[in-house]
Amino acid sequence: MVSLPHLNAPFSEKDSPPPFFHTQSYGVVIRCEVIFGSPSMDCRGTGICKIISTEELTDTVGLCTRFPAYVSLRHDRPGLLIFFSKDQLANIEFSRHFTDNTLRMDEVCPLPELVRKGLKTNIRNLAPGSYRLGHDGEYVFIAVGSCDTI
């Protein structure tokens, strides 16, 4: 079971988990926000348009809706695990983004420098593909592959 703080819990600044922290099961984990959609379609379409570290939330991305998430490295191959609170995913157009519990990414999603540095990885892009939604306790997750490790 994932031992991550609950994404929807009300935090005071003092009690909020740090942007980068360590877990026994998943190693380094980063708090971030995910924007669903396709990068070339201004967040329309399916996939992951952008991942934003909580340290770079001054970044404004139009009117695209952001969803709180946690990100860690995959242990089985290059890529990321992206965790969402089950409650939080109820707020998106679930059927649009997760047909048959699968997220379809038609385009590459660039990984921001702060996320790469925090995870100590050289992964620059998440690969297009179809990714099954997994379940772990109060979280659902997507194990997304990398298309480069330059």
Q: Establish if 136 belongs to a structural domain.
A: yes
Q: Burial of 64 by CB count in 10 Å (0-12 exposed, 13-18 middle, 19+ buried)?
A: middle
pTM, full prediction:
0.79
What is the C-alpha to C-alpha distance for residues 101 and 118, in angstroms, rounded to an integer? 29
Q: What is the DSSP string of 123-140?
A: --EEPPEEEEEEEETTEE
Query: Is 99 part of any domain?
Result: yes
Q: Which domain does 67 fall in, by range?
A: 20-145
Q: How many domains does the chain have?
A: 1
Beta carbons within 10 angstroms of residue 13's beta carbon = 5
Please check whether residue 8 lies inside any domain of the structure: no
pLDDT at 2 over 80: no
State residue 6 phi and psi, 5-degree precision: -75, 130
Question: pLDDT digits over 31-84, tens only?
Answer: 888 888 887 877 677 888 888 887 665 545 555 777 888 999 998 889 999 998
**What CA–CA distance (Å, rounded) separates 150 from 137?**
34
Helix, strand, coil distribution of the chain in percent, nearest 5 = 15, 40, 45
Task: With respect to residue 3, please indicate whether it lies within any of the assigned structural domains.
Answer: no
